[in-house]
């Protein structure tokens, strides 16, 4: 890859959306370990060593398998990290929960820290990322479609298969621990689970792919989908956005299965990125002038985040927000607008930039609870938060037409550009999600163009490389809005020397090229 080296650490990302199901993959810690990584070592400790504490007080309470008899906690059948991973995955599949939200709470409740917490996190996120390939392997090993397996047993088998094929867990330990798990969630299926898992141990991951994937020569999309665990429609959309280059598509899919790094944004005027990097033991970012790469740890615990000098934000999100602020503009430059602001990452950066330039930002968010998050994220900055629909430009007196100098439309989208941050999203999104989303995107961009004054600038941003959400949406909105609009070449608005920005005037960032989420940027000037 051509991007910067990045910390080997789960990430906290930027936002959840406010218009319907506005998934943006990547809000909280997650991640996956590479095969061969020795940080978790050989987990052949006893269940008692892993799951009980001195004095007979086992962390996590009865929820995770405790059975108190005679005042003494029973020895759990499943070690606690695996049990927590199972609970998180079951919540994702049973309740449509988000792993980045339920797993941290479960880890805290269970009292897991250090290596055990890292093991549970790796097992959870890795299994969710690789679900498609694991299901194909379980189907073959079981001799029946995975959807015909009882859901609790199915989730346990996925966890076991992931340990066997992708983690440094000895096969016998992965099999026995998973059978123990099945004994607790589906007692009648222990023999079945044992047979399926032993069959899975008969091949390594590459051999299973060689057996089950379509030939790359005749079905490249099908082959990549199974080999790198992405739905075929997503693989196809990535390939189209990359000009049909299947080699580069492969590199993107590989990167999608890596853990994303933690990036901080040092707020201009409030924190110097070099000093912040020294303070947190990180390193200045490769591209954004505000980025700091964290080596690990919980970013929410950092003093700089707690006191508002910095916030967690992917470097790509920093770059597209800064591009709007950096674009040359004739005339007044004091009224800025963020039309889709929740929960406030880009508003925080734009508000800090506005403060250094004597400008003021209006941040609009349609969901009330996200509007409160924007208020929290921009406290102390020259930002006014409006809890209203961004499409109300012209009908809401606080959003007059032709009024704003710079406008950001960080539009709700499929979130395909940040699948590494929200592992379950790739299996939840469907092509049928696109028509309502792209209609909303066009409406919001049209509203943004109406909000901009003549000569004003609008930046259209999505965290998706899908051409329907990027090029099609922006060109259709510009054509239909009834206003004179010119495209501004976005490439000079990004740092000099940044590779792989294409032919312009729009820019598509990529995980495998830039180490960022796959952010799309178009900048338009209203005539």
d(CA 506, CA 522): 5
Q: Chain centroid to CA 333: how far?
A: 33
Cα diameter, the chain: 80
Q: Is 342 annotated as a binding residue?
A: yes
Output the six-digit token pair for 191.
Answer: 């023999």
- Residues 6 or more apart whose CB falls under 8 angstroms from that of 114 comprise none
What is each CA distance from 413 to 15, 227, 270, 313, in whole angstroms?
A: 12, 26, 31, 18
In 3D space, the residue among 27, 445, 468 whose CA is nearest the CA of residue 234 turns out to be 468
d(CA 231, CA 218): 18
Q: Is 344 annotated as a binding residue?
A: yes
In 3D space, the residue among 270, 86, 53, 238 whose CA is nearest the CA of residue 162 turns out to be 86
Q: Is 11 helix (H, G, I), strand (E, B) or coil?
A: coil
Which residue in the list 265, 413, 463, 481 is annotated as catalytic? 463
Q: Is 213 annotated as a binding residue?
A: no
d(CA 55, CA 72): 10
What is each CA distance from 453 to 80, 247, 276, 335, 375, in whole angstroms?
A: 58, 44, 37, 10, 26
Q: Is 345 annotated as a binding residue?
A: yes
Q: Is 365 annotated as a binding residue?
A: yes
Decide if 64 contacts 116 (C-beta within 8 A).
Answer: no
Q: Is 443 helix (H, G, I), strand (E, B) or coil?
A: helix
CA neighbours within 13 Å on the CB side: how many for 198?
8
Decide if 481 contacts 467 (C-beta within 8 A).
Answer: no
Q: Is 499 annotated as a binding residue?
A: no
Known catalytic membership, residue 463: yes
Q: Is 14 annotated as a binding residue?
A: no
DSSP states of 145-188: -GGGS-HHHHHHHHHHHHHHHHSS--HHHHHHHHHHHHHHH-GG
Q: Is 389 annotated as a binding residue?
A: yes
Beta bridge partners of 72: 69
d(CA 464, CA 483): 26
d(CA 78, CA 187): 13
Q: Is 410 annotated as a binding residue?
A: yes
Residue 274: count of CB within 10 angstroms of its CB: 12
In 3D space, the residue among 517, 489, 504, 37 whose CA is nearest the CA of residue 287 turns out to be 517
Q: Is 455 annotated as a binding residue?
A: no
Checking DSSP bridges between strand 507-508 and strand 404-410, what pairing results, if any? unpaired
Decide if 153 contacts 189 (C-beta within 8 A).
Answer: yes
Q: Which residues are annotated as a binding site for S-adenosyl-L-methionine?
A: 340-346, 365, 389, 410
Q: Which residues are annotated as a binding site?
A: 340-346, 365, 389, 410
**Which residues are catalytic, by number?**
463
């Amino acid at each position: 890859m051509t991007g910067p080296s990045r910390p080997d650490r789960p990430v906290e990302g930027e936002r959840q959306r406010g218009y319907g199901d506005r998934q943006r993959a990547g809000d909280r810690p997650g991640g996956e370990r590479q095969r061969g990584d020795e940080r978790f070592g050989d987990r052949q400790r006893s269940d008692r060593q892993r799951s009980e504490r001195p004095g007979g007080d086992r962390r996590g309470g009865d929820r995770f398998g405790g059975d108190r008899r005679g005042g003494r906690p029973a020895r759990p059948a499943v070690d606690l990290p695996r049990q927590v991973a199972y609970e998180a995955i079951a919540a994702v599949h049973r309740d449509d929960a988000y792993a980045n939200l339920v797993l941290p709470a479960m880890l805290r409740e269970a009292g897991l820290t250090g290596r055990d917490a890292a093991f549970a996190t790796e097992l959870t996120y890795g299994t969710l990322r690789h679900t498609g390939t694991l299901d194909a392997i379980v189907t073959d090993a079981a001799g029946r479609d995975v959807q015909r397996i009882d859901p609790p047993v199915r989730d346990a088998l996925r966890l076991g298969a992931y340990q066997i094929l992708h983690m440094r867990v000895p096969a016998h330990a992965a099999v026995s621990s998973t059978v123990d798990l099945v004994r607790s969630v589906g007692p009648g299926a222990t023999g079945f689970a044992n047979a399926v898992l032993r069959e899975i141990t008969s091949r390594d991951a590459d051999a299973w792919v060689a057996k089950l994937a379509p030939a790359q020569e005749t079905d490249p999309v099908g082959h990549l989908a199974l080999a790198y665990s992405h739905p075929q429609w997503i693989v196809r959309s990535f390939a189209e956005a990359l000009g049909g280059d299947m080699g580069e598509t492969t590199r993107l899919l590989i990167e999608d299965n890596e853990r994303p790094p933690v990036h901080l944004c040092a707020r201009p005027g409030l924190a110097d990125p070099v000093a912040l990097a020294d303070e947190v033991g990180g390193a200045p970012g490769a591209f954004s002038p505000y980025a700091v790469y964290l080596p690990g740890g919980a970013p929410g615990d950092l003093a700089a985040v707690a006191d508002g000098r910095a916030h967690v934000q992917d470097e790509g999100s920093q770059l597209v927000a800064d591009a709007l602020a950096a674009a040359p503009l004739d005339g007044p430059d004091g009224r800025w607008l963020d039309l889709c602001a929740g929960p406030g990452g880009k508003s925080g950066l734009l508000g800090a930039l506005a403060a250094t330039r004597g400008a003021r930002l209006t941040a609009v968010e349609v969901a009330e609870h996200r509007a409160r998050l924007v208020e929290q994220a921009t406290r102390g900055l020259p930002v006014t938060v409006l809890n209203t629909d961004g499409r109300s430009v012209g009908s809401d007196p606080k959003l007059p037409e032709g009024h704003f100098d710079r406008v950001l439309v960080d539009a709700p989208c499929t979130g395909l550009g940040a699948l590494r941050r929200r592992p379950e999203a790739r299996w939840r999104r469907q092509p049928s999600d696109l028509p309502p989303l792209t209609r909303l995107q066009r409406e919001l961009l049209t509203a943004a163009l109406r909000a901009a004054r003549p000569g004003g600038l609008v930046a259209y941003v999505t965290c998706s490389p899908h051409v329907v959400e990027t090029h099609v949406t922006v060109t259709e909105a510009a054509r239909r809005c009834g206003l004179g609009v010119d495209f501004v070449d976005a490439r000079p608005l990004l740092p000099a020397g940044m590779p792989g920005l294409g032919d312009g005037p729009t820019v598509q960032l990529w995980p495998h090229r830039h180490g960022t989420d796959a952010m799309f940027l178009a900048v338009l000037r209203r005539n």
